[in-house]
Structure 1
Amino acid sequence: MAHTLTSRLTATGAVVAAGALLLTGCGSSKISGNSGAAPNASASVSAVTADPSLAAMVPAALKSKGTVTIATDSTYAPAEFKDASGKIVGFDIDLGDAIFAKLGLKTTWQSADFGSIIGGIAAKKYDLSLSSFTDTKEREKTIDLVQYYAAGEAIATLAGNPDKVPSTANDLCGFKVAVQTNTTESDEIKNTINPGCKKAGKPEIPNNGDQFDAQSDATSALISKRDQAMLADSPVVDYAVKQNSSLMKLGENYNVAPYGIALPKGTQLTQAVQAAVKALIQDGTYGQILNKWGVQSGAITADKVLINAAAS
């Protein structure tokens, strides 16, 4: 999302990723559309086999176990969400599977409340997380983050913009804005946009945004006209607009920052994951996965796969 410094959301709700992402939890209407299909579902992704030199970097305990447990908030299409059958899918999922295939390990994915994931990693409930974490200096105090993708923030509104919602976030003063709880966008409303509105003598965004535990419910709130706009990460907005003809994107992406794979602080697995991501970029698998999900605009090059390199 730019998933933010703080915690995020309950990811256990079933995502029927459709016309946007799933069944709404805030209204009675169902969002229609394709149930969790990737935008380019027929795109080929090469099979990944283990690289012995990279597998040798895996900590002995994990190598012995043979499987990594990965936490993810499964309401955040197209990165991580549940399809109609309840299976967790998305570009983070495909990438995670490829990373650990390269390292000679299998993956077990667990839906988790975003806000609980970092604590779950510290408590060794999870080995790591791929869940659209924005890399920040604050997060780097408690976890390692391996950068793998660049995402911005974006604004969505109803098609045709009947409420004349402005195309820049700082101008959303007084509008009803749907946002996922504890995301970068949620923090932005509270800490930047609303203070700016107040200073300018303009009405603030009510309640620091209409907050939802699941991104899918924030999208539903906009579609159902409960809210006038939605703030979310650019891949999420782009996917929602592609899936729902009732929505449109406003303006350009802003505040572009890297996503990071979250790992325990100081683990040897961090360097192994970094090396695997670089290898997948270099052999073309990474690009194939992003193309499958229609998110190739956020691709980074192998030299940008950095550890704990947040700008702020």
Structure 2
Amino acid sequence: MTASSTRRTTATQSRLAAVGAIAVAGALLLTGCGDQTKGKSNDSGAGAATTAPLASKLPQSIRDKGRILVGSDIAYAPVEFKDAGGKVVGLDPDIANALGKQLGVRLEFRNGTFDALLTGLRSGRYDIAMSAMTDNKNRQEGVDPDTGKKVGQGVDFVDYLTAGVSIYTRKGDTQGITGWPDLCGKKLAVERGTVSEDLAKQEAKKCPGGKKLTIEAFDDDQQSQTRLRSGGVDAASSDFPVAAYAVKTSGGGKDFQVVGDQVEAAPYGIAVSKDAPRLRDALKAAMDAIIKNGEYRKILEKWGAQDGAVKESVINGGK
């Protein structure tokens, strides 16, 4: 979801269908923590690297290790989170496992706060970052969205899904909020470093005197939800799949409701260092392979994200 004022709506029918599908997939699952502890995905099911169909496309160093370390904020259900047993589950881990089968390696998830993932990637802590991360020009070029200044080397993205941003409130207590302009004079909870925070900052600049938009930014989305649930803020914002999941599952569906339409539909991308073009291209080839063989579609349907399906992977498709 690129941080701009242009908005793209989604039909109510599609939105409700996605919510229903997410509910079915997530009814038995619980969200996990968002600290800096390690988390590990399911085994990818990959065989030896020499027998996987796309193994030869990987850098030899990755093939020798037999794994790709994935930085992720594992507290963003249903995209990535921990179930009751502490196992990393969700849309991203399922896609990662499917990619691992094509490449002959395991994709192992490591937990971190969202706003530190690209720093961890640049420092070599992770090989890639996969965490419902919007592909946009600022991230591609290493530009701070607040100052417009370059703060580091950018990253390349392997795009794999399209999603927008939503606002949600306590159920039956919308405070008259139907869209972003209605947030003036209100308090909004967001996850730090996300496009939701970028959009909120842009909206705050438009608010008239005496109707300040107060933004409370947290390390993870679970903290935002807790703040909203307690009445500390009037609304929260996150990516639509996450907002829809929270609406359907929190308090048995009694805590929250989505208000208005999702906006800023844009691609999710797997972030890869610009110094690792061969790894980037191998991931793109693997993504195209699972799109073609139908495994990608099955994963999206499992998590209620089929409305965001792409027909092919693109490198740096974000604006």
Report SS of the residue matched to 1:278: helix
Candidates 293, 300, 307, aligned match of 1:290 = 300
Write the deviation string for residues 22-59 of structure 1: whole angstroms up to 9, x where unpaired. xxxxxxxxxxx74339xxxxxxxxx7778744211011
Report SS of the residue matched to 2:131: strand
> Is the aligned partner of 1:107 residue 2:118?
no
> Is the aligned partner of 1:180 residue 2:191?
yes
Q: Which residue of 1 aligns with 2:314?
A: 306
Candidates 155, 162, 167, aligned match of 1:155 = 167
> Would the aligned equivalents of 1:36 and 1:89 in 2 still touch at CA under 8 Å?
no
> Is the aligned partner of 1:54 residue 2:49?
no
> Would the aligned equivalents of 2:71 and 2:117 in 1 still touch at CA under 8 Å?
yes
Equivalences for residues 1-312 of structure 1 within 5 A: 2=1, 34-36=28-30, 52-141=52-141, 142-160=154-172, 162-190=173-201, 192-198=202-208, 201=209, 203-206=211-214, 209-244=215-250, 245=253, 246-267=255-276, 268-302=278-312, 305-311=313-319
After TM superposition, give the deviation of residue 233 of structure 1 in Å: 0.8
After TM superposition, give the deviation of residue 87 of structure 1 in Å: 1.9
Report SS of the residue matched to 2:54: helix
RMSD of aligned residue pairs (Cα, Å): 2.1
Structure 1 269/122 Cα, relative in aligned 2: closer, same or farther at 3 Å? same
Report SS of the residue matched to 1:74: coil
The AA in structure 1 aligned to 2:296 is Y
> Would the aligned equivalents of 1:3 and 1:133 in 2 still touch at CA under 8 Å?
no
- Equivalents in 1 of 2:46, 2:30: separation in Å? 23
The AA in structure 1 aligned to 2:30 is G
Q: TM-score, normalized by length of structure 1?
A: 0.80
- Equivalents in 2 of 1:81, 1:258: separation in Å? 20
After TM superposition, give the deviation of residue 81 of structure 1 in Å: 1.3
After TM superposition, give the deviation of residue 107 of structure 1 in Å: 2.1
- Equivalents in 1 of 2:265, 2:52: separation in Å? 35
The AA in structure 2 aligned to 1:144 is D
Q: Which residue of 2 aligns with 1:43?
A: none
- Equivalents in 2 of 1:170, 1:93: separation in Å? 35
Write the deviation string for residues 60-100 of structure 1: whole angstroms up to 9, x where unpaired. 11111111111110111111112222222110111111112
- Equivalents in 2 of 1:128, 1:3: separation in Å? 21
4+ runs of 1 displaced by more than 3 Å? 47-53
Structure 1: unaligned runs, 5 residues or longer? 5-32, 38-46
How many percent of aligned residue pairs carry the same amino acid? 34
Task: Figure out how many residues of one structure are paired with residues of the other and give that number.
Answer: 266
Structure 2: unaligned runs, 5 residues or longer? 4-26, 32-44, 142-153
> Would the aligned equivalents of 1:67 and 1:107 in 2 still touch at CA under 8 Å?
yes
The AA in structure 2 aligned to 1:36 is L
> Would the aligned equivalents of 1:154 and 1:249 in 2 still touch at CA under 8 Å?
yes
> Would the aligned equivalents of 1:165 and 1:172 in 2 still touch at CA under 8 Å?
no
Structure 1 70/258 Cα, relative in aligned 2: closer, same or farther at 3 Å? same
- Equivalents in 2 of 1:222, 1:126: separation in Å? 32
Q: TM-score, normalized by length of structure 2?
A: 0.78
